Structure 1
């Protein structure tokens, strides 16, 4: 007997001004697992990535080449990339911190990378041990080389909605970093609500400021944490403004080390439940994804924080 309830249908009610289809950037294997206390075997991670692709994901952020001293959960990045079986039509970006990381990625045939920038000086210093200017200077040759090699380059703009040390982040500051990253040649910008403090009005204001600075909405993604329960509301606000790329983590994997009681990333299943009700296509099978998250929760030894996973798995058990 399945441990997951067959996904029930409750109809579709569309709202004006929303896209008919979006792409989910599944960040569970990287941003999710790097913030989990447990260090999983590479075989489990490989199966996780394969399951995500089998569920219909076409964009799966797979791992990170950040030094193992800082992210021990992903110390097996090279083994993982050599272990899992890629699915045709799926992109598997990896996070690279510098030129050394890019060289490692290129040697393994990686075709998409990501860099991790900050909108604030405080977080840049704590996360990258550099100022904002110094970090962007470090990324410049990485992005240039990657683009020369034909790679896609995603750039995260972390602390785009609030910073635990600086408080409210001026929108002009976010726009400045985003414009400089765009000038470097990145192909996609993911706006990170790293501590989950954003609300819909602020999301709209930031997106409007960015598009007003000639950054195309098509190049923008959103990455919301659900610390204060705002991730789905913020996502809907972003979709109304034309965003069609949304980051989410299977089962709500991951946490935020910079805010107390942070519930971590927006759960992909919760996002899918909302999108299906709005008639927005993603190509991702909710049933398969819930089964994967139940399986992963077992490997981590704790329940998934996703409300949708809890609802579907719980009803099946009953």
Structure 2
């Protein structure tokens, strides 16, 4: 078994490197992804090794990046676009939701759009405005897109390669606050968890915590800190499509569910999760599905972001409410 210990950012880099090496149609494009290697150095060294025709810088125009990627995909390429920060994806929103997501349906299934859009998302890094957003609900709401979020170096390595191989457009969310977290990475893709399948990270009997991206590690920390309750933690990994089977099996057994994400609770993806869990597990639930998330305000300045972001205390408070309902 070939296993390395890598940071999450390095794991994505190695996954991109392997994809570029195996398929000459794979391209990496975005603002500063070439010589600089990206703001977070995720694409560091790729242009040097694969050349500026396959790893190249683009103008500061997200709509143009995605529009160009659509054209390249229609010509048989597999472009991987980097959006430097989550808040910068909105200038490309029309291209993503009105064009990229619809072309397969518009062509009656005759066109594949194997475009991957990498988006560093979430807060916790002391960044300025527009650099700490959680826009996943917008894209999960859009039919025609796959939406995934990695939480560990192991998943980062495998999921980026699976996303590139996928014939559908994929929005690939990367938790920027976890870029420097290190962990074991199995380099054999044949042993990887199937694309779109959730992962039961920690077994428990009393409450199910549902999370993805940056909140998975926090939920594990909360579960380990709770000496009273046995808490199960599930990393969704894929938001659309959703692995409802794994989620439902867990909630039916524990009887309680708390959804955790960084995005504001109102209108957030947690509302969809809560509704689906309630529909599927109504007669097994001992309490309503509860949600922990950001407040319904614009993301605050970095000096107060820790008051905005969910923490272990807020998660355990929700667990106590669910158990004592």
Relative to the length of structure 2, the TM-score reads 0.29
Larger strand fraction of residues: 2
Larger helix fraction of residues: 1
Relative to the length of structure 1, the TM-score reads 0.30
Structure scoring higher RCO (CA < 8 A, sep ≥ 6) equals 1
